[in-house]
């Protein structure tokens, strides 16, 4: 570690594993400029000349005619780091280093367990622990339904991963996935007022994963599967749904599908198309792609094409009524195209048909840039920057828990998607603001209403 003017920075660049390509990771540059017109503009021009996009810019402080800036850019491992020297060579700027702001926000973890009642007297201690708690334990023994009222289970979700498909990083293992699971738990707490408990397991085979989860499920009102790789994720979720009498949801499939369906409803509307009556093409049939296809079928879309480099994935599509084809055939036939491959630039601009709707949802680099797609005739195009499953899972689980649902149904997922679509405000907005807590409350209410009694 180095310190510059009291600001802590990272000296060495972290390296991240690749998963089918080069992933962009935010880097936060710390740059000092002389406080005069054009100083900052010259720094930003150097960054632009390096082909990088600035995601965020913050002035940290101004002192004695100089300003210290944090500039957030997305850089992959192959990006040219000589731009640091070029910034430092400017007569009115100095490259200080890279900020550890992200690490600071993770230091010590992002979640903790807190008591819901003050334990500040001996009587309170005796009531919430021994001997008073024995009365509650015996009441639940005699009537298990009492656990709904006298434990936290009805607002507690297990967030379980084996780390085989973490974000865009791939199989980095369960421990490396823990910060992601903590992030999900923090979002549950902040956006939906429910508790999420991260659980890491080291097994990858469905036959061993399922008994582990089934053995601990009693502590939780619902199970969220997170970052399990395809195709194992399908078998794991299916068997858990069969065995457990509570909601189980693989977020990479169904949370993504809910937000994608909301975006498609609005994207089709903006292009003056009727979603159910059009040919929809899904590029990439992994967890997210198959989740989207399944929900579209449930929503009433009859004609769905799909393509994937894995023949087994295409077979799964065809087993639920989709049609496999090549990428070029899909682009020729589909009115609405969804891509979830993680492959930058996969869709060639010349393949775009006039009037198509294209949602290239891979982050941070889409299969085709929306502006390019529109320039080549797309009626509407968007990328995945705003299509984030954080819009879905907090409300989905809160609604299911409040309804005491025994499983997630297609009706619950579709209710969430239609609610999200209806909450988008601007005409060009596909989905609402994920930080708007009222959005999550309305999604939860819609899911609760759609949960059939005893479902």
Catalytic residue among 7, 24, 98, 129: 129
Q: How far is CA 164 from the centre of its chain?
A: 15
Query: What pLDDT is recorded for position 85?
Result: 93
Asked, colleague to colleague, whether 154-246 and 257-455 share their fold, the answer is yes
pTM for the structure as a whole: 0.88
> How confident is the model over 223-247, as a mean pLDDT?
97
pLDDT of 127 strictly over 70: yes
Q: Give the domain 2-106 fold.
A: Alpha-Beta Plaits (3.30.70)
Is 442 catalytic? The answer is: no
Is 129 catalytic? The answer is: yes
> How confident is the model over 34-47, as a mean pLDDT?
95
Q: Which residue has 């150097």 as its token pair? A: 46
Q: Average per-residue pLDDT in the chain?
A: 91
Span 375-422, pLDDT tens digits: 999 999 999 887 889 999 999 999 999 999 999 999 999 999 999 999
Query: What pLDDT is recorded for position 18?
Result: 35
Q: What is the CATH number of domain 257-455?
A: 3.40.50.720
Span 96-108, pLDDT tens digits: 999 888 889 999 9
Q: How far is CA 49 from the centre of its chain?
A: 31
What kind and span of H or E run contains 323?
strand 323-324
Q: Locate the domains of the chain by residue range.
A: 2-106, 117-151, 154-246, 257-455
Task: Give residue 22's pLDDT band: very low, low, confident or very high (50, 70, 90).
Answer: low
> How confident is the model over 206-230, as a mean pLDDT?
97
Span 137-154, pLDDT tens digits: 999 999 999 999 999 999
Task: Give residue 59's pLDDT band: very low, low, confident or very high (50, 70, 90).
Answer: very high
Query: What pLDDT is recorded for position 75?
Result: 83
> How confident is the model over 162-178, as a mean pLDDT?
92
Catalytic residue among 184, 246, 344, 442: 184
Q: Tell me how far apart the alpha carbons of residues 351 and 87 are, in angstroms, rounded to a whole number.
A: 39
Q: Does residue 455 contact residue 409 with C-beta atoms inside 8 Å?
A: yes
Task: Give residue 429's pLDDT band: very low, low, confident or very high (50, 70, 90).
Answer: confident
Query: What pLDDT is recorded for position 169?
Result: 84
What kind and span of H or E run contains 250?
strand 248-250
C-alpha to C-alpha distances, 276 to 189, 377, 408, nearest whole angstrom: 36, 22, 22
Q: Does residue 200 contact residue 176 with C-beta atoms inside 8 Å?
A: no
Query: What pLDDT is recorded for position 213?
Result: 98
Query: What pLDDT is recorded for position 342?
Result: 87
pLDDT of 1 strictly over 70: no
Look up the CATH architecture of domain 154-246: 3-Layer(aba) Sandwich (3.40)
pLDDT of 267 strictly over 70: yes
Task: Give residue 48's pLDDT band: very low, low, confident or very high (50, 70, 90).
Answer: very high
- What percent of the chain is modeled with pLDDT above 70? 93
């Amino acid at each position: 570690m180095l310190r510059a003017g009291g600001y802590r920075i990272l000296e060495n660049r972290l390296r991240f594993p690749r998963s089918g390509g080069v992933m962009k990771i935010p880097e936060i540059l710390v740059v000092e400029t002389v406080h005069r017109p054009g100083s900052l503009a010259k720094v930003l021009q150097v960054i632009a000349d390096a082909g990088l996009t600035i995601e965020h810019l913050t002035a940290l402080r101004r002192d004695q005619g100089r300003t210290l800036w944090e500039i957030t850019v997305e850089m992959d491992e192959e990006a040219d780091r000589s731009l640091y020297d070029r910034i430092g060579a400017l007569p009115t700027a100095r490259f200080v280093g890279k900020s550890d702001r992200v690490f600071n926000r993770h230091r010590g973890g992002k979640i903790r367990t807190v008591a819901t009642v003050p334990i500040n007297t001996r009587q309170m201690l005796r009531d919430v622990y021994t001997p008073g708690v024995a009365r509650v334990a015996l009441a639940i023994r005699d009537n298990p339904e009492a656990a709904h009222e006298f434990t936290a289970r009805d607002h507690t979700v297990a967030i379980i991963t084996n780390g085989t498909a973490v974000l865009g990083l791939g199989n980095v293992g369960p421990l490396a996935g823990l910060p992601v699971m903590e992030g999900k738990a923090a979002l549950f707490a902040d956006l939906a007022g429910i508790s999420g408990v991260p659980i890491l397991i080291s097994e990858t085979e469905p036959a061993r994963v399922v008994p582990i989860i089934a053995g601990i499920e009693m502590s939780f009102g619902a199970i969220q599967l997170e970052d399990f790789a395809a195709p194992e994720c399908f078998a794991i979720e299916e068997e858990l749904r069969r065995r457990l009498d509570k909601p189980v949801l693989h977020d990479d499939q169904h949370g993504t599908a809910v937000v994608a369906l909301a975006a498609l409803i609005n994207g089709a509307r903006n292009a003056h198309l009727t979603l159910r009556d059009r040919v929809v093409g899904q590029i990439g049939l992994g967890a997210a792609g198959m989740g989207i296809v399944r929900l579209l079928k449930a929503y009433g879309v009859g004609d769905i094409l799909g393509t994937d480099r894995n023949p087994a994935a295409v077979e799964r599509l065809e087993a639920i009524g989709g049609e496999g084809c090549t990428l070029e055939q899909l682009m020729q036939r589909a009115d609405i195209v969804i891509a979830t491959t993680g492959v930058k630039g996969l869709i060639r601009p010349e393949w775009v048909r006039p009037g198509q709707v294209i949602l290239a949802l891979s982050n941070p680099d889409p299969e085709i840039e929306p502006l390019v797609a529109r320039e080549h005739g797309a009626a509407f195009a968007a990328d995945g920057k705003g299509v984030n499953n954080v819009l879905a899972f907090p409300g989905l689980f809160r609604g299911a828990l409040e309804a005491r649902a025994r499983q997630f149904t297609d009706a619950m997922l579709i209710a969430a998607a239609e609610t999200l679509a209806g909450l988008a405000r601007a005409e060009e907005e596909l989905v609402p603001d994920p930080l708007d807590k009222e959005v999550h409350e309305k999604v939860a209410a819609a899911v609760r209403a759609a949960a059939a009694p005893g479902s």
